[in-house]
Each structure stands twice: as structure tokens, then as C-alpha cells.
Structure 1
């Protein structure tokens, strides 16, 4: 037995128009001159089942068919007509309820159960024409609907019910496909964001550890000076890893994600100082930069300096420029080194420039990177402050 896991509040919000309509039909039948109280219990049961059908459509269809059959037997034994029939022997409240249940079963049930539900409801509804006492014979002896009229009317209502169910079934399928596509896109974006964070932050500190360890090997006397730097870089890398693992596990990280402060200039100076490279820094920030944008600026500077340390040899100067002009933050990082012939520290996955380009384009900016005319490498990015 399938269930849509529809809560009672959600069911009420979804079904109240149908419930109100069925209550109106029931009241109209019971308090009219043509109505029969013998028919009331069965009509009420079928109406309630129609309102609850979205929770268990197949069960509701079978129960409604049973209720209609039982009501027909009661009317036969009592020898009284149910009231003015709409189609076959069903009155308007029963007809509306059966149509609603049919539409819900076609919309929500599996194909096999949907077919079984429709067949059972149609068979029981058709049987009421012969089981229930003939209303027309008692009220208007000269009038009796032809069989083709019953078939035509029933066919139209059946087509309307099944068509409605199929329409909403297709809509549900399209909505489900769209939701799945959105989930996949969100997961992909989250993976890309985590990949950029892993590359920009963790790889930065690990590269620093390897470079300083190599320096200590080359100059043993400098070991005592670089060991504190290695320890600091290792702790920062572990902190970043814990944060990323916490994000992947859906929990809050042990430490907040590094973010830009209100003073981007100081943040850039800190990143430059941590790089331990011969940097000539130029800052021109006459207006405040939002922290969210400042963090991306820091990542660009940090990754560019890391690439310079990994891929360039014989670097004597790295020019870092962070300026604001024309409503944009302009970042330029250029070195005068030459390309290393040996493999860079830690290898190269080729994701650094890709990550920087993605970060800039997501913010609506422009990115460019390539060799300089006079030798070395240059990274340029422009990010709109209002983006």
C-alpha cells in the first residue's frame, strides 16, 4: 500500500475546496424533497474517502467501491431510490467523490494499481444502474434515460477524471525532474566550492610546509628558524581540513571559515606576510569592500602567490596590486620568475587557475592569466563591488 506521506495539515490545505464542495452536495441532497436518508451513510463515507484519498489512493478507491456497493444493497433492501442520479445510479455527491478518487489514483498510484482502481470504480458505479431502485420510474414513469445516454455521460465524466489525473501525474513528473536537476546542480556547485576551498587554502599551507622543509634540508642551520613556520602552516592546514570535513558531514565546523575583516588592506598584508616571498605591495582602497567580496580577493592573492612559489624559479620580486576604481576591485599579481623545469612542489593538478576563474566569474567579474612579455607570470582579475 503506497503512501504519499502527506501530513494532515498539508492534506487540509490541499483538499479543503473538495471537502467544501462535497459538504454542499451532501446537504443539498439530504434536505431536498428527492433525497433519501438511506443513501446518506454511503455518500458520507465516499466523500470522506475522497478527501483522504491523497494519503492512500489505491486503498481509498477500493474502500469507496465497497461503500458504493454496500449503499446500493441498503437502498435495494429498503426499496427506496437514492435521489436524482447524475450518471448510472450515483447521485451528485457520490459522482463527484468517485471522480476525485479516480483522478487521485491515476495521479499517484502505480500504473497497475491505477488501472485496477479505475476498473473497480467504473464497474461498481455501472452496477448501481441495475442494483438500485429506479428513481425515474417512481417520480416520472414516462421518462427513462436511454442506455447510450448513460454510457455517453459516464464516458465523459470518466475521461474528465482520468485526464485530470494524467495531467497532474505529468506535472508531478516534470516537477520531480526539475527538483532532481536542481539538487544535482546544487551538489555540483557545493563540490566545486569545496574543491576551490581545498585547493586555495589547504594546498597553500601544505605547499608552504614542503617549501620550508626543503629549505631546512638545504640549509641545516636555518632549521630552527623555519620549524615554527612549518608548525604554524601545519596547524592552519589541519584547521582548514576540520572545517571542510565538518561541512561535508553536515555539521558546524570546529572553527569558523576564514573571512575577510572590515579592513581588506590589513587582510592582504597578512596574506602577503604569510607567503614569505619578495613581494612589493600596492594598495589603493578608497572605499570599503564587502567582507564577502574581500574573501574572494584574499583567495585570489593567496592562490596567485602559491602558484608563483610552486611554478616559478628564480623569483626576485612579486608585484601585488589591489586597487579600487570604477566600482570594481582590481587584483594584479605578477612575478619575474622563469618556469621550473622540474615538477612543482606537490605536483600540479591544474586546478588553481580554473578555481580562480570560476570564483571571479561567479561574482560577475573578469579574469585573465598568462606569461608576461618581459618574462614571468601575471594574474589579473576585476570584481564588481556591487556584484
Structure 2
């Protein structure tokens, strides 16, 4: 959970409020210096280093905790050697206001981002640095006024600041965990939706043409005299299947979204459906009543429904002498009706049946907010009904 690759620009956007607050604390310190006490400026370098470590802590919080403890030790040794009593000391502690605030920020970052083991070690190390400052540094009130505040105040203040720091880190750690789970869930859902879209395209487009190839090749085997007639159809279907596969590969590579790979789609839905009917080689009867303009994306979905319905009629129906395809627009919806007069399945379908055709059609319609129905007709045949909102 450390962020060594956090860019400097991102770090600046994230940390500038903390930097301003700590610099304001430092300003409070230096404005309290009197001209008679120039030795107090020796406490400023330690405060500046602590500010820098707190601002940079999100990049390497554990390292910042170690460096903060070392800084407190070095500054305490320097002030002890120079006999300087720093001020303002926080809750009668050895550390001054800026150092205490910076240490709190560093503890919060290490608890938020580091592993549990490192979070504990980093927190203990910073607390030890604060304790060293209390032991080594001279007390300002004792040096200048001859008295020192109660240790109870120091322990109360230190405990309060530690609880606030650790609690803040734990709170943001929980928030980060929830956000990470939410992002993972969104990614998983997006991947699932993309897989379903690819599965529908693979079934509706590629399987459609492969089925045509198998059906026509079987017809050529049964009737050798018709072989020369079906070869062009097989060639055309093979080319369309290859084109669809290339588009799906492009989708997997991210060049176009899933579901946009359409074979021979134009801006005219009626012309596209006529093309499908001609390619299918089935006795299709068409009926159009498209009084309203159908958007291209919606038209592509309607085309897929018709395409899959024709494929199912070819694969599953026997003795089909007519397939009626009706498209109409009314009440702000596109209504799709495909009916055949077959006897129902009397043999195993070409290539077997995975049972995904109707599932894919239903998913496609429901994703667009429409209604779908498929079932047997009376006295014979099969029908598919769908209604899709135009807006």
C-alpha cells in the first residue's frame, strides 16, 4: 500500500493543505522568538525537516517514520549540546508544536498505508523519537521561569495526540480498503459485461455465418448438382465470418467497443434486414412499417435479433416454407416479430445447441430496456417478439 511511484504533481495536489498548516505552525513558532533569544533559531532546522518528511510521507511512509525519529534524535542532541530550551513546547513535552503536528501526520500516513507490522513498528519508532526529545531537551518554562508543568499534562496530551493520529490512519485505511473493493467490483462487473457482449457478438454474428456454411455444404453433399450453386454462398459466408472475427479481435485489443462489430450494417435498417434475408437463403417474407427514425446503435441490435431468429429457424426448424419478419415503430418503440411455420426440431441442430441464442437475445433486449418473448406458435412453428424503446 506504499506509493513510491506517486508523481510529484499528484503529491503536490494531495499534500499542499498539510504543508500550509505545518508552515503556519512554524510561523507561530518563529514569531514568538524575541531578539534576546537568537539561539532559538537552532530549533527551526529540525522543524523544517519534520515538515518535509510529513509532506513526503505518502511516497514511503515507513521510511518517513524512521527518518522522523532520527531527525528528532539529531535535533535533540544539537539543542542539548547548545543548551537551548525550544519553544513552544507542546503539552510540556520536549517536541515543539511543528514537530508534534508533523509526527502526528507521519503516524497517520504509516498506519494508513503500510503493512500492519510496519505500521506498528513505524508508530513505535516515532513515539520513541518524541520520548527522546522529552528526555534530552531542556524545558523552556523550567529554564526561564523556574517551574515545570505536571507530567500528567504531558502524558495526557501525548496519549491524546497518539490516539488521534492512529485513529485517523485507521479511518482512512478502512476508506481505502472500501474504495479498492468498490473499484475491483466495478472492474469485475465491467469485464463480465464485456465478456457477455463478446459472447453475444460471437454467437449472433460468427455462428450465423458458420451455420450457413455448414448448411449449404450439407446441401451440396446431398445434391451434387447443386454444389456449384452453393459454393458462392459458402465463400461469401466464410468471408463474412472472417470479417466478424477480425472485428472481435479488434474489440479484444481495444480498438472498438464490444457490440459494435456489425456485418454489412448501414444507416437504413430495412436495407440491412433485406440483405440478411437474401444471405440466409430462406423463404423470408418482409414487412416494414418504420414511421420513426431508428438510431444506428438500436438498429444494430434489431438486426442481431432478426439474424439470430433466422439462424434458429434454419438450425431447429424442419419443413419451413415461410419465415415472416415484421418491423414496425409505434408508441416510441421498435417492434420486432419473426415467425416461421416449421414443424419444430426433428433432428440435432447443426453444430449442436449450446442454448445461448435465446439467452443472448433476451439479454440484448433487456439491456436496452425492452421486452422479449420467444415460444411455439399454434398450430405450428416458432415466433420471436421483441419491443425496444427508441429513446
Output the TM-score relative to the length of structure 1.
Answer: 0.96
1:82 deviates by 1.3
Q: For the aligned residues, what is the CA RMSD? A: 1.5
In structure 2, the partner of 1:382 is 387
Tell me the number of residue pairs that the alignment of Structure 1 and Structure 2 aligns.
383
Answering whether residue 110 of structure 2 is matched by residue 118 of structure 1, we say no
Distance 2:124 2:188 in 1: 39
In structure 1, the partner of 2:149 is 145
Distance 2:249 2:302 in 1: 24
In structure 1, the partner of 2:27 is 27
CA displacement, residues 280-336 of structure 1 (integer Å, 9 cap, x when unaligned)? 110000111000000000000000000000000000111100100110000000000
1:246 deviates by 2.5
1:341 deviates by 2.3
In structure 2, the partner of 1:305 is 310
Distance 2:307 2:267 in 1: 18
CA displacement, residues 216-235 of structure 1 (integer Å, 9 cap, x when unaligned)? 11111111111011001001
CA contact under 8 A between 1:262 and 1:288: conserved in structure 2? no
Matched residue SS, 1:339 = coil
1:245 deviates by 2.0
In structure 1, the partner of 2:332 is 327
In structure 1, the partner of 2:197 is 193
In structure 2, the partner of 1:165 is 169
CA contact under 8 A between 2:276 and 2:307: conserved in structure 1? yes
From 275, 280, 287, the counterpart of 2:285: 280
Where do 1:353-372 residues align within 5 Å? 353-372=358-377
Distance 1:346 1:317 in 2: 23
Distance 1:234 1:64 in 2: 70
CA displacement, residues 162-195 of structure 1 (integer Å, 9 cap, x when unaligned)? 0000000000000000100111100000000000
- Report which stretch shifted further, 219-228 or 196-205: 219-228
Answering whether residue 81 of structure 2 is matched by residue 77 of structure 1, we say yes
In structure 1, the partner of 2:244 is 240
CA contact under 8 A between 1:86 and 1:95: conserved in structure 2? yes
Matched residue SS, 1:322 = strand
1:249 deviates by 3.3
Q: Which runs of 5+ in 2 are unaligned?
A: none
1:139 deviates by 2.7
Distance 1:46 1:160 in 2: 19
Distance 1:181 1:5 in 2: 24
Distance 1:321 1:289 in 2: 15
Matched residue SS, 1:313 = coil
Matched residue SS, 2:121 = helix
From 32, 55, 59, the counterpart of 2:59: 55
1:2 deviates by 4.4
